[in-house]
Structure 1
Amino acid sequence: MDNLTHGLMGLALGALRRPDAADSPLSATDKAVLLGCVLAAELPDLDNLLPSENSVVHALQAHRGLSHALVFTPVIAGAATLVAKGLFRSARMGPVYLFSLLSVAFAHLLADLWTGWGTRVLLPFSAQRWTLDWTMVVDPWVTLPLLAGALWAWLRREQWRRALLWGLVGTVAYLGVRVSLQTVLSHRVRGAWPAAERVQVFPAWLSLTTWRYVVVLPSEYVTGTVALGSAPHEQRRWPRPGPEAVPASARNLPTVREALAWARFPLVSTAPQPEGGTELRIGDLRYHLGGEPTLQFILELSPQGELRAARLDRGGSAASLLRRWRTPEPAPGAPTPEG
């Protein structure tokens, strides 16, 4: 999730604690709890500052690493508590630490978990990426209720707690709607493709009722969109890559293995480079627009199979992606789903 949403959610979670005195100014403990919750919600993303050899390694290893793991939450909460306690020296440490711990778990780890990228919450015991696929990484409708509550709390300070809690209620209600839609639309796609090995629906840009889907058949992927009140709309099919899609000399490269482990519906392609060597592209169809992948890792390999460079291609600028989203291409041929 984006950092604005993390911080606002941490602030709202801090309001779950009843102030020491309802009709009096905030105590030092009250202030420290709110500050600790905001800090705890933001601190895990300091791993963005960690150095890495290339953008692929940074995206897949440095970011959402150990700082986003459950075992590390007491450390993050402890750091947030120490900072808050340092600023409000008379604050009681117990409530500050308890709510900071709550904020790390729910305002950051859970908020990242419900996006599509995936979070390795079980590190160091498992490197598997877990995701709930409820929202995009940036979803204005998650953020706006929290932001409205924070602004209301700032303008009407005597009602600050009620304002923050109502903002949290609005966000939780929106997430509940998305979970329900995900369930309904998943069943609808599954009904259209009963022979599929696997069916998955994913959030679409700036849309509540329209989602993207990927259907896994024995030899190919089917991509498309599905909306509330309409049947699944197929956009494109892609062949499923076999083991031979990745050059044998590159299969054991750590960056290649990491990219393949990240991709739940991988697309793999290779192309010779003018100066020799191979360009290897690894994409994931959960990030598709009009059936075309938008996010890919591009790895440049030497003739000996060594990694020369690696970068993350997001499919163009935000403006170009928005134009593609507004004018989706028609499905080529629109074949009939298998029954």
Structure 2
Amino acid sequence: MDTGTHFVMGIALGGLATLDPAVAEGSVTATAVMVGTILGSQAPDIDTFLKLRNNAVYIRNHRGLTHSLPAVLLWPLLISGTIYALVPESNLFHLWIWTFLAVFLHVFVDIFNAYGTQALRPISSKWVALGIINTFDPFIFGIHIAGLILWGLGSPPGYTFLSMYGILVIYYLARFREQRIIKKAVKMQIPEARKIIMSSTMRYHRWKVAVITEKHFYVARANNGAVTILDQFERVPLPVSEVLDVAKYDKNLAAFLSFSPVYRWEIESNDTTHEVRFIDLRYRSNGFYPFVAVVHLDRDLNITNSYTGWIFSEAKLRKKLNILPG
């Protein structure tokens, strides 16, 4: 989820904690718990700062180690221990419990996005991405804001947010149901589909769909249950190529390949340069595929520049690669 949604989730969890007698009966503990749930709801995303280094490091590590099984245990210990050291009058055990729930909830809701997390590390480095909830979901954010407003108007926070989370459980189940219906519709149109990768959008009934068959990739859109195929690409195996063998060692392309489950590739060469381009097929937007990895090599197969990330025009890509207009 986005930072704003995680933040309001932290506040909501602090409100829900008032159902805990140890929190409700102690103002110091209640304040400590609120701080703990807010910090716990944000802590796993500390790896966002990796983007300041470069996209390759960010893509390889975001939602990785900081969202792993050990991190889910260590973040609450670190946060609750620090708060308790500053406020020893608070109830450490209940502070830890609610901070742990905040960290767990952060990691848990992130697995429902298309981006996903490596939440099973170190058992598995596989990305867990269910794709039923957009990174920013207006309904989820809106219902949290509504709950906070009701709290501000005098509604008891514990029962207010307990009711809200009950509604959200139903909402998530509805999203799973719609995803299942659309996958059946895709199978009707593409019976040979081996894998169907779906990404929700901010519009409730609109989804992005990528399909893998033995011989083709399909890119589709689902709207109100109707599936429309937008593009079809032949699945061409990666060739035996010295250019590709060298390009694979580039940090940007390696990061892309570690993250993207469905992509096509292009290799273009002229007398002086080679360009290797990998294109993720999950994120089609207005006829363009913005998530790419590009590597340029000279005639002697030395890597001259490379990039991976989100680009919405060729002009911006050339700028990222420091290529002057031709």
Residue type at the aligned position of 1:49: F
| 1:180-199 alignment runs, 5 A limit | 180-199=177-196
Bigger mean CA deviation after superposition, 208-217 or 132-141: 208-217
Q: Which of 228, 233, 244 is matched with 2:228 structurally?
A: 233
Deviations 1:137-193 (A, max 9, x none): 12212211012112221332x522233333333333322221111111111211222
User: What is the Cα deviation at residue 29 of structure 1?
Assistant: 1.6
Residue type at the aligned position of 1:11: I
Distance 1:305 1:203, change over 3 A: farther
Structure 1 match to 2:21? 20
Distance 1:51 1:261, change over 3 A: closer
Name the SS for the 1:278 alignment partner: strand
Residue type at the aligned position of 1:222: Y
Bigger mean CA deviation after superposition, 162-171 or 232-241: 162-171
Q: Which of 113, 131, 144 is matched with 2:111 structurally?
A: 113
Residue type at the aligned position of 1:236: D
CA RMSD of aligned residues (A): 2.7
1:213 and 1:223 in contact (8 A); partners too: yes
Alpha-carbon distance in 1 for matches of 2:199, 2:245: 32
Alpha-carbon distance in 2 for matches of 1:117, 1:241: 25
Name the SS for the 1:315 alignment partner: coil
Residue type at the aligned position of 1:278: H
User: What is the Cα deviation at residue 114 of structure 1?
Assistant: 0.8
2:220 and 2:231 in contact (8 A); partners too: yes
User: What is the Cα deviation at residue 302 of structure 1?
Assistant: 4.5
Deviations 1:216-240 (A, max 9, x none): 222221111223353x211111222
Q: Which of 228, 243, 268 is matched with 2:238 structurally?
A: 243
Q: Which of 274, 287, 294 is matched with 1:298 structurally?
A: 294
1:200 and 1:215 in contact (8 A); partners too: yes
2:253 and 2:308 in contact (8 A); partners too: no
User: What is the Cα deviation at residue 95 of structure 1?
Assistant: 0.9
| 1:1-339 alignment runs, 5 A limit | 1-17=1-17, 18-20=19-21, 27-50=27-50, 54-61=54-61, 63-106=62-105, 108-156=106-154, 159-204=156-201, 206-230=202-226, 232-244=227-239, 247-272=244-269, 276-289=272-285, 292-303=288-299, 304-306=301-303, 308-315=305-312
User: What is the Cα deviation at residue 51 of structure 1?
Assistant: 7.1
Residue type at the aligned position of 1:110: F
1:147 and 1:167 in contact (8 A); partners too: no
Alpha-carbon distance in 2 for matches of 1:82, 1:183: 43
Alpha-carbon distance in 2 for matches of 1:238, 1:290: 17
Alpha-carbon distance in 2 for matches of 1:308, 1:233: 37
2:252 and 2:308 in contact (8 A); partners too: no
2:219 and 2:231 in contact (8 A); partners too: yes
**Unmatched 5+ residue regions in structure 2?**
314-326
1:300 and 1:310 in contact (8 A); partners too: no
Aligned length: 309
Alpha-carbon distance in 1 for matches of 2:80, 2:157: 22
Residue type at the aligned position of 1:155: L
Alpha-carbon distance in 2 for matches of 1:241, 1:155: 60
1:64 and 1:119 in contact (8 A); partners too: yes
Distance 1:85 1:21, change over 3 A: closer
Distance 1:233 1:311, change over 3 A: closer
Structure 2 match to 1:329? none
Bigger mean CA deviation after superposition, 135-144 or 48-57: 48-57
**Unmatched 5+ residue regions in structure 1?**
317-339
Deviations 1:245-277 (A, max 9, x none): 871222344542331231111122234589x44
User: What is the Cα deviation at residue 7 of structure 1?
Assistant: 1.9
User: What is the Cα deviation at residue 35 of structure 1?
Assistant: 1.9
Name the SS for the 1:5 alignment partner: helix
Distance 1:238 1:97, change over 3 A: same
Name the SS for the 1:73 alignment partner: helix
% identical aligned pairs = 22
Deviations 1:265-323 (A, max 9, x none): 1122234589x44333322211123564232233344442436332412426xxxxxxx
Distance 1:152 1:3, change over 3 A: same
TM-score by length of 2: 0.84
2:252 and 2:293 in contact (8 A); partners too: no
Structure 2 match to 1:337? none
Deviations 1:80-106 (A, max 9, x none): 213432454311110111121121112
